[in-house]
Structure 1
Amino acid sequence: MDVTNLLSAEWWIVTFGLIGILTIIFAETGLLIGFFLPGDSLLVVAGMGASAKVASAVGLDTPFPLPVLLVGAPVCAIAGAQLGHYIGAKAGPRLFARPDSRLFKQEYVEKAQYYFEKFGPEKAVVLARFIPIVRTFLNPVAGMLGMRPRRFLVWNIVGGVLWTDGLLLFGYFIGDLVPNVDRYILPGAAVIIILSVIPIIREVMKNRKAAAGGSPSAPVTEPKGKHHRETA
């Protein structure tokens, strides 16, 4: 298998179908090893696949059932994030006490913690949904930092529904309204990925400037303050 297929939303959809889509959404938000999966572009292309005009163009025998996607995708995204939060709460900082490797980088965790502390728990849980890599690592970080499970669940539901159904409906209506939209699936997916990583690029540049000025970013720790180890 060509490793570039792993980043292709169209390949995942044609190869694994509806069950594959839901599994990938769960894995990307609940399992640390799923951070590289193409969540944003997958949802948009899946929404297009629910349009009869596009389904055959992407290699589907029949269109995806849109109601199933609109219910199943947020359920899987919410369940995955809750699992990530649970793992972070149980394992604590030792979950991330590992050296950098090809897949795992300490900077991923630091970035998730940065958003958690900059925007506060509620906004961070919602906003992280739209930022690749951060949406995978923020959930266990929230658990590690003691965000209460019930509180996390409320904002997890808000972010999960906005992210999944928003992108699914966007893809569906684009597929129905734009003539020959199948020609633009790959370029469109690339644009979505680029737009998604812009916030990360901006923060990386800011951190590099800060480091150059003698203010490097702090390592991942359990901070003291109002978010430290909240109890249910």
Structure 2
Amino acid sequence: MNGSSLLSAFGALAVLVVTFAESGLLIVGFFLPGDTLLFPAGVLCATGAAHGGTSLSLWQVMLCAAVGTCLGAQCGYYIGRRGGRAMLARSRSARLKTVVARGEELLNRYGQRKAIVIGKFVPMVRTVLGPVAGVLEVPTKTFTLWQVVGGVVWSQSLILLGFWLGAAVPGVDNYLLPLVALVVVVSFLPVLLQRRRH
């Protein structure tokens, strides 16, 4: 499930589907390339490279990313809100209860608004944020507003960074793999720093 293959097969539609699933569907969201799809999509929009016969349009990629991430997070929130407590009560999974406890700690430490926005920039946290906020009954209005702010800033900044780099550096699309690896390392830095503090 690498980003280049998905972009090659489905173009901007891949961006919509992947950002939706990664932002709200716990079971599959962990295994999907969010950061590693948006950045190369931006680069390919700038270079005009026809990837797998499909040329990517910047406005389509940006629109699909914003819609996918916002709708996905909202869907995850409603799943957590409607059935999360019952599932948590029945579950024997210590891991699931740990995730909810850490989510609660994150919301309490940074405040709901800040935690929701920051969570969008951290892989894995982005996937569990919506369902956990639903389980913890974060007010719908608060969650919706701040997940849209965080989701739009996260998705658009990665695409535009890729677009800028693709426009500024000739032949950069030949070095997508090392650049994607760099994006993954940078996106995991907050998690690693947090673990080091603990």
How far, CA to CA, are the matches of 2:100 and 2:182 in structure 1? Answer: 25
Structure 2 residue ranges without an equivalent (≥5): none
Residue 65 of structure 2 corresponds to residue 35 of structure 1: no
Measure how far apart 1:109 and its partner are: 4.2
| Residues 1-232 of structure 1 aligned to structure 2 (within 5 Å) | 6=1, 8-33=2-27, 34-51=29-46, 53=47, 55-56=49-50, 59-96=51-88, 97-99=91-93, 107-207=98-198
TM-score, normalization by structure 2: 0.89
How far, CA to CA, are the matches of 1:61 and 1:185 in structure 2? Answer: 18
The count of corresponding residues between Structure 1 and Structure 2 is 195
- Aligned partner of 1:211 in structure 2 is none
The structure with the greater share of residues assigned to helix is: 2
| Structure (1 or 2) with the larger CA radius of gyration | 1
Secondary structure at the residue paired with 1:50? helix
Identity %: 37
Contact 2:42 2:161 in 1 (8 A): yes
Q: Please tell me the root mean square deviation across aligned C-alpha atoms, in Å.
A: 2.0
Structure 1 residue ranges without an equivalent (≥5): 1-5, 208-232
TM-score, normalization by structure 1: 0.77
Secondary structure at the residue paired with 2:53? coil
The residue type paired with residue 138 of structure 1 is: L
How far, CA to CA, are the matches of 2:34 and 2:70 in structure 1? Answer: 14
Contact 1:113 1:138 in 2 (8 A): no
Higher RCO structure (Cα 8 Å, ≥6 apart): 2
The residue type paired with residue 80 of structure 2 is: G
How far, CA to CA, are the matches of 2:123 and 2:97 in structure 1? Answer: 15
